[in-house]
Structure 1
Amino acid sequence: MNFATLDLNLLRVLDALFREGSTIKAAARLGLSQSAVSGALSRLRHALGDPLFLRQGNRLVETDYAARLKGPLHEELERLEAMLSPPSAFDPKAASGTFRIAASDFFAELLMPQLADLLHRTAPGIRAQLVDLVPYDYVQSLERRNADLALIPDMTVPEWINRQPLFRSPFRVIARASNPSLAGLDGAPVMPIDIFCALHHVLFSPEGNLAAMGDAALERVGRRRQVALTVPVFSGVCRAVSESDLVALVPAQLANKVATTFKLRVFEPPMEIEPPLIVGIWHKRSDNTPFAKWTRERIFQLMEALDEESQ
C-alpha cells in the first residue's frame, strides 16, 4: 500500500462500516449513497490488499486483518477530531450523544438525579447512562469503550488513564428505627461496639465477599462481626436493613440521603475506618474531546458537594 496516495476519506467509511456492519447503515451514518460506500469499500480492499469484510446473512463480518484495524482506527480518528476541534466550538445546547458512567448504584442516588436535571436544562441532547461497575474490570471497561468515565475507590491505574480525586466517603452504621437492639440509644452518635458486633450485618459486595474494610478495622481492635447477608447493590442493602433487624455499614452520604425514606437510624461506627477516596478515571484519548471533557467537568462539579455532606 502506498500511504501517500491513499484517500483518507476512505478511513471514515471504514470506521462507519466497523460501527454499523452494513453498507446501507454506514451510508446513512455518513450521508452518502449505498453505492458510494460500496465503491469506497472496493477501493479500500484494493489499497489494503484484504477483503476486509465477508457477507454473512444480512451483515458484514470483519476479516482478522480488519478486526486488528478496528480499535486503532477509531482512536486515531477521535484524536484527529479532538486535535481539529477547538474547545470554543463545543455548544452543549446543540450537542448530542451518550456519555456512559461505570459506577455503583450509590451514584444512582447521589449523582444521577442532579445530572439529569443539569443536562435537561443545559444540554438536552446529551444522554447519560449509569452502567454496571464490574469488579476488577474498571480500566478494561474504559479501554473497550464500554464506559467513558468510571467512579471508583482510589487505585493504581496505568499511565494511559487519567485520575481526578473527588471526595472521601466515610462509613456510617444504619439500622431500622424500630430495631429492638437500639432501645436506650436515643441521641447516641456512636453505636456501641458490643451491640455492633452482636447484631447480624448486611454487606455490600458485588463479588459476594464475606469481609470488607469494616472487618479489617474490627480485627485491628480484636473484634469480629457476623455477616448474615451479602447484596451486590446499595439499594438492596438499605432495603434489607429497613425490613429486618440487620444492620449495615454504608457510605455516610448515602446513609444521610436515604435515612428518612427507609426509616433508618444512622450511627457512627464504633471503630476507626479510614474513609476511602473516590476518584474519577478515564482514558487519556478523550482528554480534549470537547463532548467528553464538558460532560466530565459537569459531573465533577456536581460531586464537589459530597465531601461537605459527609461531615
Structure 2
Amino acid sequence: MNFATLDLNLLRVLDAILAAGSTTKAGERLGVSQSAVSNALNRLRHALGDDLFVRRGNQLVPTDFAVSIKDGLREELNRLESLLSRNDHFDPRQASETFKIAASDFFAELLMPGLGGVLNRKAPKMVAQLVDLVPENYVESLERYHADLALIPDTDSPDWISREVLFRSSFMVVGRVDNPFLAQIEDGTELPMETFCALSHVLFSPEGKLAAMGDAALAKVGRKRHVAMTLPVFSGVCRVVSASDLVALVPSQLARKFAPEFGLKVLAPPFEIEPVNIIAIWHRRSDANPMAKWMRQQVFDLLKPLENR
C-alpha cells in the first residue's frame, strides 16, 4: 500500500461500513449513495490488498484484517476530528448542543439544580441530560449511553479515558428526628454500635443488592446489620427513613442537604468507612472539543466545593 497516494476519505467509508454492517446504511450515515460506498470499498480493497468484507447471505462480514483495524481506525479518525476542531470558537450564548451526563441520582440533587441555573444564565439554548450508570460497569456508560461525561467512584480505567478528581464523600447515618430509638442521641454525635445494629436499615442499591460498603466495613469489626429495604434512588431512601423507624447510611453531602427537608437527624457511624473518591471520566476524543470542555468545567466548578461539605 502506498499511503502517500491513499485517499483518506476512503477510511471514513470503511469506518462507516464497519459500524453499520452494510453499504446501504453506511451511505445513509455519510449522506452518499450506496453505489458510491461500493465504489469506495472496491478502491479500498485494491489499495489495502484485502477483501475487507465477504458476503454471507444479505450480510457483509468483515475479514480478519478489517476486524483487526476497526478500533484503531475509529480512534485515529476521532483523533483527527479532535485535532481539526481544536481551534473552533465556542459561544455558550449561541450553543444549542446536548450534553449527556451518566451518574447516580446523588447528582440529580447536588449537581443538576446548580447546573440548570448556570445554563439558564450562560447557555440558554443548551440541553443537559442526566442518565443512569450502567450497572456493574460504570465506565461502559460512556459507550452504551453515548454519554459525554460520567461521574463515578474512583476506579481503574482504560487508556482511552480522561479523568478529573472531584471530591471525597464520607458517610453518615440518617434517621427521623422523632425516631424513638434515637431520642437520647444528639444530632451530630456518634450512633452507638448496638443501636446501629439493632435498627433495620434502608439501602441505596440500583441493582437491588442487600449489602454494600457499610456491610463490608461492619464485617471487619465482626458485626452485621439487617437491611429491610432497598431503593434505587437516594431521595427515596431518605423519604422512607423520614416516615419510619428505619435508618440509612448515605453520603454526608446528601445527609446534610436532606436533613431539613425530610426532618432527619444526622449521626456519625460507629465504625470506620473509607470515604469514596468521586471522579469525572470522559472519552479522550472529547479532550479538545470546545463545547465539551466548557460543559465539563461548569460541572467541575459545581462539584469540587462538595469536598468541604
Deviation at 1:169, TM superposition (A): 0.5
Question: Residue 161 of structure 1 corresponds to which residue in structure 2?
Answer: 161
Normalised by the length of structure 2, the TM-score is: 0.79
Question: Residue 146 of structure 1 corresponds to which residue in structure 2?
Answer: 146
Question: How do 1:274-293 and structure 2 match up within 5 A?
Answer: 274-293=274-293
Deviation at 1:8, TM superposition (A): 2.8
Gaps of 5+ in 1: none
Counterpart check, 1:131 vs 2:131: yes
Question: Residue 206 of structure 2 corresponds to which residue in structure 1?
Answer: 206
Question: How do 1:1-311 and structure 2 match up within 5 A?
Answer: 3-12=3-12, 72-87=72-87, 89-143=89-143, 146-187=146-187, 189-308=189-308, 310=309
Give the letter aligned to residue 137 of structure 1: N
C-alpha contact (below 8 Å) 1:142/1:283 kept by paired residues:
yes
Q: Tell me the C-alpha RMSD between the 2 structures.
A: 3.5
Q: 1:90 to 1:37 in 2, by over 3 A?
A: farther
Normalised by the length of structure 1, the TM-score is: 0.79
Deviation at 1:46, TM superposition (A): 7.6
Give the letter aligned to residue 155 of structure 1: T
Q: 1:176 to 1:89 in 2, by over 3 A?
A: same
C-alpha contact (below 8 Å) 1:45/1:52 kept by paired residues:
no
Give the letter aligned to residue 94 of structure 1: Q
Q: Secondary structure at the match of 1:304?
A: helix
The 2-side partners of 1:124 and 1:108 are apart by 19
The 2-side partners of 1:87 and 1:264 are apart by 50
Q: Secondary structure at the match of 1:230?
A: strand
Matched residue count: 307
Q: 1:267 to 1:107 in 2, by over 3 A?
A: same
Deviation at 1:246, TM superposition (A): 0.8
Q: C-alpha offsets along residues 144-198 of structure 1, whole Å, 9 cap, x if unaligned?
A: 5732322111222233323321111111111123322222335453223222221
| Residues 85-94 or 200-209, more deviating | 85-94
Q: C-alpha offsets along residues 33-52 of structure 1, whole Å, 9 cap, x if unaligned?
A: 89977876786688677697
Q: 1:26 to 1:158 in 2, by over 3 A?
A: closer
Q: Percent of aligned positions with the same letter in both sequences?
A: 61
Q: 1:273 to 1:38 in 2, by over 3 A?
A: same
The 2-side partners of 1:67 and 1:95 are apart by 37
Q: Secondary structure at the match of 1:157?
A: coil
Deviation at 1:306, TM superposition (A): 0.7
Deviation at 1:98, TM superposition (A): 2.9
C-alpha contact (below 8 Å) 2:188/2:268 kept by paired residues:
no
Q: 1:273 to 1:14 in 2, by over 3 A?
A: same
C-alpha contact (below 8 Å) 1:218/1:224 kept by paired residues:
yes
C-alpha contact (below 8 Å) 2:187/2:267 kept by paired residues:
no
Q: Secondary structure at the match of 1:104?
A: coil
| Residues 171-180 or 119-128, more deviating | 119-128
The 1-side partners of 2:273 and 2:261 are apart by 26
Deviation at 1:284, TM superposition (A): 2.6
The 1-side partners of 2:51 and 2:92 are apart by 41
| Residues 278-287 or 2-11, more deviating | 2-11
